[in-house]
Amino acid sequence: MNLRIVREDLLAMLYRLEELAADRPLGSREATQALGGGLLVHYALWRLWQTKKIERRPEGLRLTEAGRRKAVQLVRSHRLWEAFLVQYLGLPIDHVHGPAERMEHFIDEDLQRRIKADLDNSRLDPHGRDIPGEKMANDAS
């Protein structure tokens, strides 16, 4: 379970950097350090490369289409859960990232649709970031 979560955290991190149009992608060392280092993170990175979810290029790590599809699902889950926590549980915006960071790994497409149906028609999470649409997430599947 820990390995899966670290792999997914790496994918989501690379996707968020793409969203920001970062000047350059992270290198393997930077990505590993961003998640605290250690053998588990190194192994997770290697597995993502081996399963063709990421590519190692001279300029840094890049998501493949398969990796991007998984990352979109994770980011969608995260942002929907943040919106749900604010709208239905009344949590302050600065208290929703941590719980969403943990829950994003366990929200499937059915639960995503149910959460989205319960939310207002907003296309933004409580922080003002786009929630990837269901079509984008399905195209990513």
Identify the sign of the CA torsion 110, 94, 102, 78.
Answer: positive
Full set of structural domains in the chain with CATH: 2-63 (1.10.10.10), 71-140 (1.10.60.10)
pLDDT tens track for 60-99: 999 999 999 999 999 999 999 999 999 999 999 999 999 9
pLDDT tens track for 35-71: 999 999 999 999 999 999 999 999 999 999 999 999 9
Token digits for 21? 């149009």
Contact 83, 122 (CB under 8 A): yes
Kindly report the pTM of this predicted structure. Answer: 0.88
